[in-house]
């Protein structure tokens, strides 16, 4: 099958829950996919893929030189690497990967990175969700990473979903709410409520933010063109109004961006 507008894309964190879906969706869309993994054989065994379907670079994403070399000649990079629970190590890894993209000489410059919904703004305010009363302190790492991206000349986007889960093998959804920079939740008159009430309303509506890994992967891998509508923006995603889902055993205080 011939595909239009295919890209040469490097995926970092391809062994994770989201990373595996990014890889699968990239291949399904006809992109030429390269993955950066620590162990090629382990990755192939878990993914069920073969070396005929994609290219593999073996190395550690915390090594900027390895990442920069893997990026040479690529049109785009998508990173789902790291865990917010790792604190300083997480923000350092994020900055290292962005820095490697900045120094890669023949890289096309299109970058998708991953954060969480806490890096979005509360609707109707100039406040990060991470700054609301009662928000876990570890979410400040997402804010720091967002600001790191805002300082770069790269053509970047920052995907900021809530909890993600595996779903049935159905086609990607086209009815999700997608926003830029601001949470996709409709909070109506609660926008102007005191901070603690805003926090409570977000928690009550959390189920609207529970989306499939597959759908988040599709949003990213379908938008690898430079200077698209999400360039230089944080991207939020939610289920249609009135629809909710639940991720069992999910704890906001231990959220990991390589979920």
pLDDT in tens, 117-175: 999 999 888 899 999 999 999 999 999 999 999 999 999 999 999 999 998 888 999 99
| CB of 27 closer than 8 Å to CB of 5 | no
d(CA 69, CA 56) in angstroms, rounded, equals 13
Count of CA atoms in the C-beta half-sphere (13 A) of 70: 28
The closest alpha carbon to 216, from 114, 83, 108, 90, belongs to 114
How high is the pLDDT of residue 253? 55
What element of type H or E holds 112? strand 110-114
The three-point CA angle 34-40-43 to 5° equals 85
pTM: 0.93
How high is the pLDDT of residue 195? 73
d(CA 240, CA 237) in angstroms, rounded, equals 10
d(CA 82, CA 62) in angstroms, rounded, equals 10
DSSP 150-200: HT--SEEEEE----EE---S-PPPS--EEEESB-----GGGGGS-HHHHHH
DSSP 8-state code for residue 224: -
**Residue whose pair of structure tokens reads 């239009």 in the numeric block:** 4
Phi, psi of 141 (to 5 degrees): -65, -35
Q: Both tokens of residue 29?
A: 């869309």
Residue 38, judged by CB atoms within 10 A of its CB (0-12, 13-18, 19+), counts as exposed
| CB of 232 closer than 8 Å to CB of 189 | no
How high is the pLDDT of residue 250? 64
Share of the chain above pLDDT 90, in %: 80
CATH number for the domain running over 8-254 = 3.40.50.720
How high is the pLDDT of residue 251? 63
Domain boundaries, the chain: 8-254
Q: Both tokens of residue 103?
A: 């120094």
How high is the pLDDT of residue 190? 65
d(CA 209, CA 163) in angstroms, rounded, equals 7
Whether the pLDDT of residue 257 is over 50: the answer is no
Mean residue pLDDT across the chain: 92
């Amino acid at each position: 099958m011939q595909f239009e507008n295919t890209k040469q894309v490097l995926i970092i964190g391809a062994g994770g829950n989201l990373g595996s879906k990014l890889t699968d969706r990239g291949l399904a869309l006809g992109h030429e996919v390269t993955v950066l993994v620590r162990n090629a054989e382990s990755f192939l065994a878990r993914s069920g893929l073969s070396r005929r379907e994609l290219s593999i670079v073996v190395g550690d994403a915390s090594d900027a030189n390895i990442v920069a070399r893997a990026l040479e000649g690529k049109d785009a990079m998508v990173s789902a690497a790291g865990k917010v629970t790792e604190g300083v190590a997480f923000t350092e890894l994020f900055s290292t990967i962005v820095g490697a993209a900045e120094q890669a000489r023949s890289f096309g410059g299109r970058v998708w990175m991953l954060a969480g919904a806490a890096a979005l703004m509360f609707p109707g305010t100039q406040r990060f969700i991470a700054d609301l009363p009662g928000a876990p302190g570890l979410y400040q790492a997402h804010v720091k990473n967002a600001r790191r991206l805002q300082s770069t000349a790269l053509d970047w986007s920052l995907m900021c979903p809530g909890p993600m889960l595996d779903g049935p093998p159905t086609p990607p959804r086209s009815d999700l709410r997608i926003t830029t920079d601001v949470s996709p939740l409709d909070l109506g008159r609660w926008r102007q409520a005191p901070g603690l009430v805003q926090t409570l309303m977000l928690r009550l509506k959390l189920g609207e933010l529970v989306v499939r890994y597959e759908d988040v992967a599709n949003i990213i891998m379908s938008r690898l063109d430079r200077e698209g509508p999400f360039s230089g923006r944080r991207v939020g995603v939610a289920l249609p109004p009135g629809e909710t889902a639940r991720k069992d055993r999910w704890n906001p205080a231990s959220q990991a961006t390589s979920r």
